[in-house]
Structure 1
């Protein structure tokens, strides 16, 4: 599988693992301390070939994703569920299987060029039990996996649902499936 865009990753172990799974070029941020020359390389790559941000599903990875997205709008996003990125000594893309990496890169989010109007998500998050309560965190994890937007806390989830232009119908359809599965398990 050949990837046209340049993939932004955190480190060289991520690059090595991605190159085992797909034919792609990467730019390494060398952790969450992204310097200006690295941001300039990413900006140049975005202008020439496009960029896919593919960081670890943890706080530092999300911080890097946020910094790059703010500095270089229009990047695509690939997400790895936490359970597919767990290794014996940590959490990260470098611990994922080749198949999990390919699946994440096949499900890249590209922002649609439409007149999408941001949605006030708070009532929906409350209605579906995604804020507070014992089931909120696992439900957000399942929702993030199914929508391919990664795990987020409630505040981040609202932003991400709008950023990736998720419609209410898409959201409710996935949440209905999650709730149905919960009822079947109890």
Structure 2
């Protein structure tokens, strides 16, 4: 079983159980989006000692937790679970790491990003407009697909350019992912 050096920041004990089925890793649980100061202090200490990977659910609460922890720990790494992987049919309306398969968890942890605030803008607002990722019909669905392919999670139109820059997504990788999105759209149109 693969050993993860960093401590994984997750939302709850069910996430920890599922992660331990997939990899050998230590976790720290935020117990929801109302993260207390003691938990944030502990996460900061762990980040200094071992490093942390933020691995939250692909939903609003998960993104809120990610933002809070990333603000407190700017050098945190990020792993993203695609929405489809976090919502198996047996889970009903529930969505999260606790429902993901061990394979989906390992895949997410194989594609970890580190934010780089000093990264240059490689993909511009105009590129996103031209690609139909913002400001038009179907843009949200395209952003969801793009986020899954690049494994950067889902973001709204205003945040997409920032997320692409923060994780240093290269134009060639962006173009390849966009091509997959377009091919998927064309296959659905037939």
TM-score above 0.5, yes or no: yes
How much has 1:89 moved relative to structure 2? 4.5
Give 1:59's aligned residue: 60
Q: Does 1:183 align with 2:186?
A: yes
Give 1:41's aligned residue: 42
Q: Structure 2 stretches of 5 or more lacking a match?
A: none
The SS at the match of 1:7 is strand
Give 2:140's aligned residue: 137
Normalized per residue, which structure has more strand?
A: 1
Q: Structure 1 stretches of 5 or more lacking a match?
A: none
* 1:79-138 C-alpha deviation (Å, 9 max, x unpaired): 00111101225111001111111111111113469x631346211111011113331111
In 1, Cα distance between equivalents of 2:156 and 2:115: 21
In 1, Cα distance between equivalents of 2:110 and 2:171: 23
Dislocated runs of 4+, deviation >6 Å: none
Give 1:50's aligned residue: 51
TM-score where L is the length of structure 1: 0.93
Give 1:21's aligned residue: 22
How much has 1:67 moved relative to structure 2? 0.8
Give 2:169's aligned residue: 166
Give 2:120's aligned residue: 117
Question: Number of residue pairs matched?
Answer: 185
Give 2:9's aligned residue: 8
Q: Does 1:152 align with 2:162?
A: no
The SS at the match of 2:141 is helix
* 1:48-79 C-alpha deviation (Å, 9 max, x unpaired): 11100000000010011011111111111110
In 1, Cα distance between equivalents of 2:110 and 2:19: 13
Q: Does 1:92 align with 2:101?
A: no
In 1, Cα distance between equivalents of 2:119 and 2:79: 21
TM-score where L is the length of structure 2: 0.91
Q: Does 1:102 align with 2:106?
A: yes
For the 8 Å contact 2:53–2:77, the answer to whether it is kept is: yes
In 1, Cα distance between equivalents of 2:102 and 2:42: 26
